[in-house]
Every structure is written in C-alpha cells, then in structure tokens.
Amino acid sequence: MNKVHCQQWVSFLLSLGVVFLISCGDKEEPPASGTFQLEKIEINGETNADSYTDVDPNLLITLTFSDKIDRNTLQNNITLQATATGKPVTLTFQTEGNTITIQPNIPLNQFTAYRLTINTGLKSVSGNPVLTGKIYTINTGIDPTDKFPRISDEDLLTLVQKQTFSYFWDFGHPVSGMARERSTSGNTVTTGGTGFGIMAMIVAVERGFITKEEALNRIQTIVTFLETQATRYHGAFAHWIHGETGATLPFSTYDDGADLVETSLLFQGLLTARQYFDSNSAGETKLREDITRLWEGIDWTWFQKEDENVLYWHWSPQYEWRQNLKIQGWNESLITYLLAATSPTHPISKEVYDQGWAKSGGMRNGASYHGFTLPLGPNWGGPMFLAHYSFLGLNPNGLKDQYANYMEQNRNHAMINYSYCVDNPQGYSGYSEHCWGLTASDGDQGYSAHSPTNDRGVIAPTAALASIPYTPEESLRALHFFYYKLGDKLWAEHGFVDAFNLSENWFDNQHIAIDQGPIIIMIENYRTGLIWDLFMGIPEIQTGLTKLGFTY
C-alpha cells in the first residue's frame, strides 16, 4: 500500500468512526520505556533541600539520577545564573554512572542569589527525558577561607593602627599638613578630621610608627597654617578649608563660615598635643604657645547668638545665623559644650549646658532595646559615631553627671547597635555577630548616617572597631571577620575601606578622615588609655568638668 492509498484508507475508516493505531510510510522508533528522574541533590554537603542559603561560594553540586545521563544534553539543560542580573555561570560537568558533579569555573560572588535550573530537555542514555524540571535557589555566603595569615590579636591591632595611620601621614595635605576629607579630596581638608589625625600622630609616636620629632614638625605645620592662612570666624574654623590657601570651602549653601562642632573636634586634638609635647625644648614650647593662642582666641559666647542659653553650630559672614542649627543633645557634640565651659577667655555658663545641650533633661531616653537601657539620645541610639567623636579624648570610664553614666551610655549604645545587626530584622546579607556596625559612612546609595532606624544594609568598619573600649569581644570578632574573611575586599593601602554592603556585593574604594581617626585612637584607648589620660590630664578640662557637674 503506497502512502496516498494509506491516507485514503485512514480517512475512510475515520468516517466510519473506527479509530486504531496504524503505521504508514517510514517506520518510527517505539517510545522509550522507564522513568528518568532526579533522586538526590547535594550542594556543599547539604542534601535534598528546596533552597540553599549561606552557601560557600566555592560551589560543589552533586546530582544523582535514576539512570545514566546523556552527556550531550547537559550543557543546555543544567544551568546556573545570577538571579538579579540573569548572567550565566560557566560550569564544568563530570559524570560517573548516574551522578553528575558540577562546579563553576571560578568561585561565585559572596552574598549573591543564584538560580540552578534543570530543564526537561535533559535525557538519559536510554533517551528518556527527565520526568520534571527543577529550579533551586542558591544564596551564597562568605568565602570561609582566610585571606591573610593568622597573627596574634595584639599584632593585628598594631597592624590596623599602623596602616590606618598612613592615611593621615602619607595622605596629609603637602602644604597645610591637615587631613584631607577623603581619598579623593585633593585640596579639601577637614577641620574635625585633622583633630583626629593629630591624636593619631601621638599614638603613632608611642607605637614607633614615626618619631616624636616628626610628629612635632607635622603638627607645628598644621598649627602655623591654621594661625596664618586659614580664615577664622570669631576664633572658630570652617568645616572644610582649602589646603593651600586656607580659604573656606562651603560645606553647604548657608554653611560657608564657622563650624563650632568641627572646631571642637579640632581642639580636642590640639589640646591633647599641647599636653603631650611637654618638654622645655624650643620646638615643644613654641607648639604649646601657638596652640594656646589659637585656643584662647575662640569666642564661644558669640555662638550663643543673642545671649541665648544654647550654642549654635554655624555662623556665616554672608548669611549670619540663617543655618539656624542649635547644638542640642544627644549627639556627637558633648565635647563642644565641655570646651566652651572650659575656655579661659570666653566660657559659657552651666545654664547654657543644662538648658541648651541637655534641653533641661529633654535629651534623656530611658527606653530598653534588646534588653539594654539607653540613658540618652534618639531611639535605638542613632549612628555609632555619637559614642566616638566626643570620647576620643573624654574618658567615659566613671564619668557621670545628673543626666547619665557615660560608660553605660556608650556601652549600651554599642550593644544595641550590635544586637540589632545580629537580629537583622530586614534580612540583609552578612549581618551577624561577626559583621556589625551602623554609622555615618559611604554607602551604595550615597553617604548617609546609617543606624537601626536608617538601615540600608551598609556596614562601616569604624562603627565596630572604634567601639572596642565598650564592646571588646564583639569588636574583636568583627575585626577578625573584616580582616581575615573580607580582607581581600576591605583591606587597602590606608586601612579598611569606609564601608560595604554585602546584599549588593558593594565595597567602597574610599577612606574618610573622620572614620579612620577613631579606629586608631579608640583602639589605643582600649589598649593603654593613652589619649584619654592625656586629655583628662589637661587642667582646664578638669576645671570645666567640675563646673558642669561631672564626677570622674
């Protein structure tokens, strides 16, 4: 029967309602028998999960099927791709019997979501397609291998201090000697960051990174530039200064003049240097005299505006008080009120401290977060720098007044920040007992004051590391994680980069002076109390603390 006759015969039978199997023309292969299916999946040792989390980026996948696999169908039917971008991962396949071992050609990115797909086009050597397709979600975690050799904690702390210090020493402005605002700032130097850098130089002398003579010369360069080149406003300096000319560089539209808080952070460092360089040599004597002259030239009472019982943050020769920002607690500015009360020439009264800074007690908090009571400040404590900047010199150990025990304040603030990150309510990648610390820093969405109430997944090493006097165990765990586990991403020429976001696989390439300084200084205060002892030994500081009602 030829093909035409066959088709006519089939049509005739169908018209009669007869249906049966008939073969016409070329002979067809009978369908393959048996079922081909996935029986077991194992990813980095975990078996038959619906999804896989915290997976080692050095990925190893083992698939076991009910029959041998047709290798010709592997490449297009077992795929791995990044979920967010859809970018495929190049895979290597090895088969042995019913088992396939799969590895990426290079390790996966850390803290990244991937999708493993097994398509129905996969076949056995018998020709059977896999019974059902499969999709597995794989979320990578940290690469657990150490990126650097293990050393003692003491050696690691010294290494961190030394390499971080190089930001201020090697990257200090060549004319003014002042600290650049950040790695890309060129001629923009920072007043507060320079104060931190001066304290860091004292630590560097005591640690043997530089000589005392080298530190003296650099600090004298800074002081001479401040006195002879930099613009002053009733004795106070601007936030940003041009490192060659001394001209004010506006921080914002109406902030183009005095910044009293930045000036306070500068003089926290300068007064510490005056206390440290205490010999009768001509060089050290001159430095002390020059610092004293600048110190006594600040008219703190001017910044009460029109004799108000509060200090104002800014004053502009062009816009005057238009910025209109009162310095009120709780924030980083306790040092401002202490220095203002301490001034030998233009001191504020205790009423300005109580009514302005403490808001007549209104800066109290008293709420509990994760079991830690916060005496002062915003809900959840705010960014960690509030516990650092004023306390680089001011020793919180045993420090009390009518408003708070300041070691309790700072320790509980740090523990709240730590506990929040461990709890990780927003589910950001990497947050853990090893990886914590929210503070003002760079971020993948720009600079922001990160905190539990402004959490964007951004961790800044300075937050945990500068908290080491308050949380030594928690801070050392973070240090180990930052250095040993993420060191290939975080550790750079001038210490740790400013911040990172593991959820976005983002790592900064910048350093910022006001984040680098506290790392060096607070590690030293934890180790020896050096800067605390110097600053608290200044006679005017002791007088000011007593005047404001502090015991210590």
CATH of the domain at 69: 2.60.40.1220
The answer to whether residue 470 sits within a structural domain is no
- Please say whether the beta carbons of 74 and 93 come within 8 A: yes
The amino acid sitting at 38 is L
pLDDT above 90 covers a percentage of the chain that reads 90
pLDDT at res. 24: 36
Q: Do 58 and 129 fall within a single domain? A: yes
pLDDT at res. 88: 95
pLDDT at res. 150: 98
* SS3 at position 402: coil
Residue 175 and residue 243: Cα distance in Å, rounded? Answer: 7
Residue 424 and residue 206: Cα distance in Å, rounded? Answer: 39
| Strands 134-140 vs 188-190: parallel, antiparallel or unpaired | unpaired
Q: Render pLDDT for 217-240 as a digit per residue (tens, 0 to 9).
A: 999 999 999 999 999 999 999 999
pLDDT at res. 33: 53
Q: What is the mean pLDDT of residues 415-432?
A: 96
Looking at 363, 398, 429, the residue that finishes a domain is 363
pLDDT value at 11 more than 70: no
Q: What are the backbone dihedrals phi and psi of residue 381, each rounded to the nearest 5 degrees, phi first?
A: 95, -25
The answer to whether residue 413 sits within a structural domain is no
pLDDT band at 34 (very low <50, low <70, confident <90, very high): confident
pLDDT at res. 347: 98
pLDDT above 70 covers a percentage of the chain that reads 94
Weakest mean pLDDT among 28-42, 78-92, 163-177, 442-456:
28-42
Beta bridge partners of 326: 312
Q: Render pLDDT for 521-546 as a digit per residue (tens, 0 to 9).
A: 999 999 999 999 999 999 999 999 99
The answer to whether residue 219 sits within a structural domain is yes
Q: Do 73 and 196 fall within a single domain? A: no
Backbone conformation region of residue 80, classed left if phi is above 0, alpha if psi is from -120 to 50, else beta: beta
Q: Do 177 and 134 fall within a single domain? A: no
Q: Render pLDDT for 371-419 as a digit per residue (tens, 0 to 9).
A: 999 999 999 999 999 999 999 999 999 999 999 999 999 999 999 999 9
Looking at 363, 390, 422, the residue that finishes a domain is 363
pLDDT value at 31 more than 60: no
Report residue 456 as tokens. Answer: 């964007």
Q: From residue 468, how far is each of 339, 414, 463 by CA, in Å?
A: 25, 9, 9
Residue 380 and residue 538: Cα distance in Å, rounded? Answer: 33
The residue whose two tokens read 């010999």 is 279
- Please say whether the beta carbons of 295 and 346 come within 8 A: no
Q: Do 125 and 198 fall within a single domain? A: no
Say how many C-beta atoms besides its own lie within 10 A of residue 45's C-beta.
9
- Cis ω on the peptide bond leading into residue 330 (within 30° of 0)? yes
Dump the DSSP string for 221-287.
Answer: HHHHHHHHTS--BTTB--SEEETTT--EE-SSSS-SSEEHHHHHHHHHHHHHHHHH--SSSHHHHHH
Q: Do 101 and 230 fall within a single domain? A: no
Q: What is the mean pLDDT of residues 316-335?
A: 97
Residue 290 and residue 272: Cα distance in Å, rounded? Answer: 14
The answer to whether residue 7 sits within a structural domain is no
CATH number for the domain spanning 327: value is 1.50.10.140
Between 16 and 503, name the one with better pLDDT.
503
Report residue 405 as tokens. Answer: 């025990």
Number of domains in the chain: 2
The answer to whether residue 507 sits within a structural domain is no
Residue 475 and residue 500: Cα distance in Å, rounded? Answer: 17
pLDDT at res. 18: 35
Q: Do 56 and 186 fall within a single domain? A: no
Say how many C-beta atoms besides its own lie within 10 A of residue 327's C-beta.
22
Q: Do 86 and 185 fall within a single domain? A: no
Q: What are the backbone dihedrals phi and psi of residue 337, each rounded to the nearest 5 degrees, phi first?
A: -70, -35
Say how many C-beta atoms besides its own lie within 10 A of residue 305's C-beta.
14
The answer to whether residue 162 sits within a structural domain is no
Domain carrying residue 59:
38-140
pLDDT value at 25 more than 80: no
Cα distance from N-terminal residue to C-terminal residue, the chain = 112
Dump the DSSP string for 311-367.
Answer: -BSEEBTTTBTTT--B--SSSS-HHHHHHHHH-SSSPPPHHIIIIIISGGGTTB---
The answer to whether residue 257 sits within a structural domain is yes
In terms of average pLDDT, the best of 48-57, 139-148, 525-534 is 525-534
Residue 244 and residue 173: Cα distance in Å, rounded? Answer: 8
Q: Do 201 and 337 fall within a single domain? A: yes
Residue 476 and residue 490: Cα distance in Å, rounded? Answer: 16
| Strands 134-140 vs 51-55: parallel, antiparallel or unpaired | parallel
- Please say whether the beta carbons of 202 and 217 come within 8 A: no
Q: Do 216 and 276 fall within a single domain? A: yes
pLDDT band at 422 (very low <50, low <70, confident <90, very high): very high
pLDDT value at 15 more than 90: no
Beta bridge partners of 46: 43
The answer to whether residue 124 sits within a structural domain is yes
Average predicted confidence (pLDDT) for the chain: 93
- Please say whether the beta carbons of 226 and 189 come within 8 A: no
Q: Do 198 and 330 fall within a single domain? A: yes
Q: Do 204 and 128 fall within a single domain? A: no
Looking at 298, 328, 363, the residue that finishes a domain is 363
Element (H or E) spanning 500, and its range?
Answer: strand 500-501
Q: Do 208 and 357 fall within a single domain? A: yes
